[in-house]
Structure 1
Amino acid sequence: MIKQTLIAAGFALMSSAAFAGLQPVEHYALQDGGTLYVFDDGKMGVENEFGLVKSVEEGSTLTTTTGKEITMVGNEIARVRHIELLRNVD
């Protein structure tokens, strides 16, 4: 019984640690109506104005609604898809 409890606790800890990396640390509203998400490792992902994942080439320049230009690092489609899925869970 104790062994099963320890195993379950280990899985819970691993899943929460993995989940933490999926949460953005920053997000910016873009001029085209989309959103840029920046994750804790500095990589980025974008969703379009409809809240759907958008593929953006690494190195592209994105402009925020405030006029700030940000150079795209990475193309974290899976992470943004995860955010999209969580938002749509009722």
Structure 2
Amino acid sequence: MSIRKSLIALSLVATALSAAAAGDSDIVQSVQLKDGTTMHHYKDGKMSMEGKNGNIVFMKEGMTMETTDGKTITMSGNEVARLYMQKKLENKK
């Protein structure tokens, strides 16, 4: 097989793998908060925040948030880049 065909095959495999990864968001739970934002909880225990309008919100680790039903959640991690890439990949579909 020529180098050119190998590179084409490799790029097709990489594209397929990235598409498969985009389909698995790792979000196990999304919780509505009292202020209208949404907290996304990932499989690895880290979290990200999304504003009322779908914009990504920066939240300091350790900050407490109140859910719509009055429970309190403490921010673990701040997966801004993770949520950004997830949203970017979802918009390409």
Q: Select the residue among 43, 47, 57 that pairs with 2:50.
A: 47
In 2, Cα distance between equivalents of 1:83 and 1:15: 11
**Is 1:78 equivalent to 2:92 in the alignment?**
no
Letter in 1 for 2:63: S
Given that 1:22 and 1:79 are in contact with CA atoms closer than 8 Å, whether structure 2 keeps it comes out as no
In 1, Cα distance between equivalents of 2:23 and 2:77: 18
Compared with structure 1, are the counterparts of its residues 83 and 18 closer, same or farther at alpha carbon in structure 2 (3 Å cutoff)?
Answer: closer
In 2, Cα distance between equivalents of 1:26 and 1:76: 14
Count of aligned pairs: 90
Root-mean-square deviation (CA, aligned residues, Å) is 2.9
> How far off its partner does 1:19 sit?
3.7
Q: Percent identity?
A: 36
What residue ranges of structure 2 are gaps of 5+ in the alignment? none
TM-score (norm 1): 0.74
In 1, Cα distance between equivalents of 2:83 and 2:71: 21
